[in-house]
């Protein structure tokens, strides 16, 4: 049987014949057999409790104890506790069940012993738990709160193909490179990575929440409100949209509308259907440097191969991109990957075609489209990519003809990069509108609803005047043949000296 120590407490006289006075603690060790019990009496000072257990109630020393402590010397019976448990002989007696279950009572015999015990007790210091902020749904927590150090996630780093070397650098290249942004500038890179992380978080929410039955207006506002919230910039103060904001109007093109559709005031609202294939294309800019990334959503497995073809083509373009690579080589690789896929729709096997008339592009400061283009079909363009450039590698695939025409309505507008700061026109509304565009968007594309957010009214006549003078460019939806379906995937890459960073890469695509 297990040996159990069981205390008995007596304050004064129980063991006076033994010469022990004052408060005492007795421990009885019970060795149990079937019928016999042998109890050993232990006498000691202070408490004899299980390890790490203490009792504080009713432990004030008696007046006689205090007197003995003041005079000095050792109290009777103390040496027994110091030198070990003292056995005072056998003790016969029966204990009832209540005595067996009694706990150990702690009675310090001197104030000094009490002080020693109290010194061993250390109060635990409870540290305040620091909660790590998490993104809300819909996304409304500014990214600076999620990344207080200002260091943002690095995109996917890809080394250049060993077969691609700098074989034909020209003297003029050094001059051109000096005019571009230095990729070693940490502020530049962190701003780009911040914009990319905002894109990832907003699109993650969009992919989880967008469902058939929603209007395209509802979807567009949800994405744009998310971007502005994470930037912590509503974009309503003069000039604030130039500091950060949308890189261009949110594109929500359905089915045979391949690109450049966004809901605008005055248009009939469109409701997303279960059978729709929707391209979601939006940009985020900080200080004029734009992250341009797009993906495609479908709600039926019929279109899985179409999406897979375009995603493969985009990733092929990214793998082949690099310093001194010819654009014609990238285009050929894209087309080969894209057109190796087929789609079965309603019992018909349809080859996926690369779209003509659209292309990937380089990105300039405050300009979503630079001067270099990467078509999705074979060509003879011998222009090379160069170190320090920023490219949007995107591809479009379709089950239609692959040739596009302008559709009805307006997608958005953009001020011409070479337009003057001031204009001379007799139309006052055009002058006022031009100043609003210059102060709030510069050369970044914008939609009609962006103007209305700023409180601009009756702007159509002035806008038409600016378009007719070539000061502002208008963009229309781009359409393939009716009944066809199209898809898009896109990433932004930064070309460094020895590697490229796919800054907008995520777990989704």
Per the annotation, where are the binding residues?
260, 281, 292, 361, 369, 394, 490
CA 35 to chain centre: 71
Structure tokens at 267: 């248009």
Residue 259 burial by CB count (10 A; 0-12/13-18/19+): exposed, middle or buried?
A: buried
Q: Beta partners for 259?
A: 478
Cα–Cα distance for residue pair 375/261, rounded to 1 Å: 21
Cα–Cα distance for residue pair 196/175, rounded to 1 Å: 29
CA angle 472, 451, 281 (to 5 degrees): 75
Known binding residues for a divalent metal cation are: 281, 292, 361, 394, 490
DSSP state of 326: B
Give me the torsion for CA of 426, 427, 433, 439, rounded to 10°: 10
Known binding residues for substrate are: 260, 369
Question: Residues 328, 382: contact at Cβ < 8 Å?
Answer: yes
Question: Residues 49, 40: contact at Cβ < 8 Å?
Answer: no
Cα–Cα distance for residue pair 281/411, rounded to 1 Å: 12
User: Phi and psi dihedrals of 143, rounded to 5?
Assistant: -65, -30
Closest C-alpha among 302, 299, 261, 252 to residue 279:
252
């Amino acid at each position: 049987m297990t040996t159990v120590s069981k205390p008995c407490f007596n304050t004064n006289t129980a063991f006076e014949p033994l010469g022990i006075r004052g408060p005492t603690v007795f421990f009885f060790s019970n060795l149990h057999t079937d019928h016999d019990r042998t109890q050993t009496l232990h006498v000691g000072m202070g408490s004899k409790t299980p390890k790490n257990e203490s009792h504080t109630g009713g432990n004030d020393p008696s007046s006689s104890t205090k007197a003995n402590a003041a005079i000095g010397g050792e109290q009777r019976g103390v040496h027994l506790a110091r030198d070990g448990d003292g056995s005072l002989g056998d003790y016969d007696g029966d204990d009832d069940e209540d005595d067996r279950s009694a706990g150990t009572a702690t009675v310090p015999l001197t104030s000094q012993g009490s002080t020693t015990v109290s010194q061993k007790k250390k109060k635990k210091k409870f540290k305040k738990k620091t909660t790590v902020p998490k993104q809300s749904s819909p996304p409304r927590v500014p990214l600076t709160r999620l990344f207080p150090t200002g260091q943002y996630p690095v995109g996917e780093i890809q080394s250049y193909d060993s077969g691609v070397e700098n074989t034909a650098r020209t003297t003029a290249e050094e001059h051109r490179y000096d005019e571009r942004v230095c990729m070693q500038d940490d502020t530049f890179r962190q701003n780009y990575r911040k914009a990319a992380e905002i894109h990832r978080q907003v699109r993650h929410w969009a992919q989880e929440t967008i469902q058939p039955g929603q209007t395209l207006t509802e979807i567009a506002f949800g994405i744009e409100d998310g971007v502005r919230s994470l930037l912590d910039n509503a974009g309503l103060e003069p000039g604030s949209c130039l500091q950060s904001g949308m890189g261009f109007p949110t594109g929500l093109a359905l089915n045979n509308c391949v690109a450049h559709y966004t809901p605008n005031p005055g248009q009939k609202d469109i409701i997303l259907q279960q059978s729709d294939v929707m391209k979601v294309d939006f940009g985020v800019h900080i200080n004029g440097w734009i992250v341009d990334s797009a993906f495609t959503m479908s709600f039926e497995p019929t279109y899985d191969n179409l999406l897979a073809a375009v995603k493969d083509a985009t990733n092929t373009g990214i793998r082949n991109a690099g310093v001194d690579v010819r654009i014609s080589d990238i285009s050929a690789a894209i087309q080969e990957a894209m057109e190796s896929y087929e789609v079965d729709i309603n019992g018909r096997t349809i080859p996926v075609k690369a779209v003509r008339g659209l292309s990937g592009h380089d990105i300039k400061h405050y300009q979503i489209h630079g001067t270099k283009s990467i078509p999705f079909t074979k060509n003879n363009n011998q222009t090379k990519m160069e170190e320090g450039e920023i490219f949007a590698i995107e591809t479009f695939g379709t089950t239609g003809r692959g040739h596009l025409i302008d559709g009805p309505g307006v997608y958005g507008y953009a001020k011409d990069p070479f337009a003057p700061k001031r204009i001379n026109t007799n139309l006052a509304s055009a002058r006022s509108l031009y100043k609003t565009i210059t102060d709030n968007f510069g050369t970044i594309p914008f939609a009609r609803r962006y103007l209305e957010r700023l409180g601009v009214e009756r702007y159509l006549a002035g806008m038409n005047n600016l378009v007719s003078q070539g000061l502002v460019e208008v963009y229309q939806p781009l359409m393939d043949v009716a009944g066809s379906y199209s898809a898009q995937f896109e990433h932004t890459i930064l070309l460094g000296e020895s590697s490229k960073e796919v800054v907008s890469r995520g777990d989704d695509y």
